[in-house]
Amino acid sequence: MVEEQAEAKWFKRFITLFFAGFIMIVLGIVFLTVAAFLSGAGDLSVGGFVWIFPFFPIVFGAGPEAHWLVLFAVILAVLGVIVFFVFWKTAWKGVFS
């Protein structure tokens, strides 16, 4: 009984921190985007990377510095896939060890 309460408390804390972090990231993106549009200084560049796993990735960018942003997005995506597989392999070992 006590163990279940401790697990429920841990899970509630995890979910709270997860959503707090997610909201902070979204707010940061919104603030930076609004600041870039309102400043009017220089050119605006955007770049991104969308990958629905078994299919090919979609890379996009616009602006004078888009190639650097696209490169950065691709590097982050590759690192994300590597971290995913490392954690997956570690979790898989933990289940069957």
Residues 47 and 93 in one domain: yes
Determine the average pLDDT of the residues in 48-74. Answer: 82
Residues 61 and 75 in one domain: yes
Residues 38 and 49 in one domain: no
Range of the domain at 55: 43-97
pTM confidence score? 0.54
Residues 4 and 19 in one domain: yes
Query: What is the per-residue pLDDT across 4-41, written as a single tens digit (0 to 9) for each?
Result: 777 778 888 889 999 999 999 999 988 988 887 788 76
Residues 6 and 35 in one domain: yes
With helix as H, strand as E and coil as C, how does 6-70 read? HHHHHHHHHHHHHHHHHHHHHHHHHHHHHHHHHHCCCCCCEEEEECCCCCCCEEEEECCCHHHHH
Residues 69 and 52 in one domain: yes
How many whole angstroms separate alpha carbon 31 and alpha carbon 24? 10
Residues 69 and 85 in one domain: yes
Q: Which residue has the tokens 């004078």?
A: 64
What total number of domains does the chain contain? 2
